[in-house]
Amino acid sequence: MDRKVKQERVLVAMSGGVDSSMTAALLLEQGYDVIGATMRLSEDSRESLSGENNGETPSSVADAQRVADVLGIPHYVFDFTASFEQTVIGYFLDEYQRGRTPNPCVVCNRHIKFGALLQKAAELGASYIATGHYARVERGADGIYRLRKGLDLAKDQSYVLYHLNQKILAHVLLPLGIYKKEDTRRMAEEYHLPVAHKPESQEICFVPNDDYKAYMRKKRPECCRPGNIVDCLGNILGQHEGLAFYTIGQRRGLGIAAPTPFYVIALDAEQNHVVVGKSDDVYATQLIAADMNWTMWHDLQSIREVRAKIRYGKRDTPARIMPHLRGSVLVQFSEPQRAVTPGQSIVFYEDDIVLGGGVIDVVANDISDAR
């Protein structure tokens, strides 16, 4: 590998997958002083509890170490299990208990990857932290850092990074944002990385064997109490297995015999009710988002026309946002949106620039409902 003169030190979060491995390789090629780090996050991980590694080093750590050896860079393993349990798993379980659908990857990025790991980077003398996310960070002539979508819109991961503010963006490198996934795998082959063809994991990393129901019953059995399925008027139509096993917009698995399908439109944690309605009831035109973060300013000062994305993998859509109570934001969509889900993140864009985002708190169809 033809390396340039080394520049500033960067800590690369290495999961053992192809994306983070190529992140390390690219930054090394660009001349950075690269060190790798893998995070131990949970004793309940797929690898820990599935017997996948027969009690040996988890494959994520082993694969990252193999890549580090090929690249000739130092590799560290940091144990964040305690903080991950408190900030991510605790949040995950609490949200389900509240009848909401959590987004643990966003919370992990915010508190662990760009929180605890960024602090470790500073302790190791690194000026930057780098990850394998498909997004871009650019510093404009005005000195402002802008978080942008990845050029490969099919792979873009800017949605899960909306919490990054100016202070953090100044220390973040995202070299994969200009590439397509197939380019990443091709380059990994050219670099002879041993994980070039390692498949991607789609499951929640801390749920063993992707057995979500068993995990919830073990960790938070009170979320799994059976209760009534009711319509908007409170009429009992059936029984549910536990609020944690249902999500907004769900049609299958309700066990309700009716001429036209019912869909989950709300989860009432106080009454332990799954509320269902017809297909039109799944759509909403407005919501209130809370726990806001803005990438380029402190808070929203005026009404803005934006594009909004209500879940990962969904296309963004035109919307108007305006300041609401106690730092929250009122969002009005140009077209009704299906299955707007409390607990999920909503992220706002202007062109390909991430303005910020927050957590969907209240879903409504008129302003009086939303207050």
**Residues designated as active site:** 108, 205
Residue 138 to residue 183: CA distance in whole angstroms: 21
Beta bridge partners of 236: 230
For β-strands 263-268 and 236-240, DSSP reports them as: unpaired
Question: 309-325 burial string, b = 16+ CB within 10 Å, else e?
Answer: bbbeeeebeebebeebe
**CA 16 remoteness from chain centre:** 18
Residue 220's Cβ-side half-sphere holds a number of Cα atoms within 13 Å equal to 19
Q: Minimal CA–CA distance to 26: which of 176, 137, 183?
A: 176
Environment class of residue 269 by beta-carbon count within 10 Å: exposed (0-12), middle (13-18) or buried (19+)?
A: middle
Where do we find the tokens 């200009």?
178
DSSP 343: T
| 24/36 Cα distance (integer angstroms) | 7
Beta-bridge mates of residue 139: 145
DSSP-based three-state secondary structure for 225:
coil
Measured between its terminal Cα atoms, the distance across the chain in Å is 60
CA distances from 54 to 41, 47, 356 (A): 18, 9, 43
Query: What is the rounded CA–CA span in Å between residue 282 and residue 278?
Result: 7
Q: Kindly give the interhelix angle for 18-29 and 181-190, rounded to the nearest 10 degrees.
A: 60
DSSP state of 315: P
Contact 333, 317 (CB under 8 A): yes
Distance CA 249, CA 262 (A): 9
Question: How is residue 142 written in tokens?
Answer: 């005005």
